[in-house]
Chain A
Amino acid sequence: MMDCKQILSEVSNYLDGDLSKEVKQAVEGHLGKCTRCSLVYSTTRETLRIVSDCGVFTIPVAEGTRLRARLKELFVQG
């Protein structure tokens, strides 16, 4: 039997579908019974969804313009 600590150490691999069949079953069995771990799992999954949806570190328009101007300058100088 895996305890909460062991289950949580597999949460990340579980999210990636990167577990053996046995461990995967153990994780799923535990998540079905343990509110605490299943809350950690669902909110971690939600975390990844939010991160990939929110367009993190979007380059400021001015920054792109400045970069291209600077590169042009450098190339002209040789």
Chain B
Amino acid sequence: MSESPSDVSGENLARGDDDLPLLDRVLAGDAKAFEELVRRHEQRVYRVAMGITANHEDAEEAMQQTFLKVHQHVSEFHGSSKFSTWMTRIAINEALQIRRRRRPNVSLDELQDTKDGSLPKELRDWHDNPAQVFEKTRIREIVEAAIQSLPPLYRDAFVLRDVEGFTTEEAAAALGISQTALKTRLLRARLMMRDALAVFLQRKPTLASRASQVRWKIQDALLAGMRRAWKRADGGGP
């Protein structure tokens, strides 16, 4: 499926809010206009909702709640931000509420597990072009699974900053945390995402490094054999 028009409107038309004419029609009670508004923004709302809830049914519910809220409160939108930003903030809140209801225990405790400074485990270079190794849909599946496996509080930071393209300031405000906290969570999230993708994308050990591993194994085996022989020669049993 190609990108929905909402992505174009959101990122490329920073000046002027091209949702405004549609909003005027919505305010005038034009049902078709609201449907068009939903169509235009459902991709973005779904992405945020999936990113935060990591669950299909919850995302669906969050989406529905978001558009109901938008419909109820659209007259309160006064254009101090872009409409898409205003709507995305509603989507974030709806998704967070649903997640809290489902998992009341998501808390800061979860963040204690991963202390700063733990070095990434997988350290080999990656394939220059992942598209040559995996199909595009496979890459997307890998990325989605990786995002879903992040601890929720890290995931929020990652989804808003690196999937939705919020600024640090916008993301921190939307999540109700300090910018410092946002940056710390984003760092952890990015390194965890890197680790998760590394499993798939890093190069296989080179022939040279494999050859040297084999050499070491042969030497180890020879040494072990020699030790056994020495032991026997010493008369120290089997």
Contacts and interface: CB of A to CB of B under 8 A. Distances in A.
Note whether A and B form a binding pair. Answer: yes
Nearest to A13: B183
Interface string A12-56: 110110100000000000000000100110011011101110111
Given A5-B117, A57-B144, A48 B64 contact: no
Interface string B109-133: 0000000110110011110001000
Given A8-B191, A56-B47, 4 more contacts: A43-B126, A43-B201, A54-B139, A67-B60
Contacts, number: 126
B22 interface: no
B162 interface: yes
B205 to A, nearest CB: 14
B201 to A, nearest CB: 8
Interface residues of B, number: 50
B55 to A, nearest CB: 12
Contact of A67 (B50, B63, B162, B193): B63
Contact of B117 (A8, A64, A67): A8
A40 B162 contact: no
Given A55-B3, A56-B163, A61-B1, A12 B63 contact: no
Contacts of B130: 50
Contact of A43 (B4, B162, B194): B194
The 8 closest A-B pairs by CB, nearest first: A12-B187, A59-B46, A5-B117, A57-B50, A57-B47, A54-B140, A44-B194, A47-B194
B98 interface: no
Interface of A: 4-5, 8-9, 11-13, 15-16, 18, 36, 39-40, 43-44, 46-48, 50-52, 54-59, 61, 63-64, 66-68, 70-72, 74-75
A76 to B, nearest CB: 9
B27 interface: no
Interface of B: 1, 3-4, 31, 34-35, 38-39, 42-43, 46-47, 50-51, 60, 63-64, 67-68, 71, 116-117, 119-120, 123-126, 130, 136, 139-140, 143-144, 147, 162-163, 165, 168, 183, 186-187, 190-191, 193-194, 197-198, 201-202
Most buried by B among A4, A52, A59: A59
B64 to A, nearest CB: 6
B117 A9 contact: yes
Given A5-B117, A9-B117, A39 B125 contact: yes
A48 B68 CA distance: 33
B39 to A, nearest CB: 7
A59 B191 CA distance: 27
B200 to A, nearest CB: 10
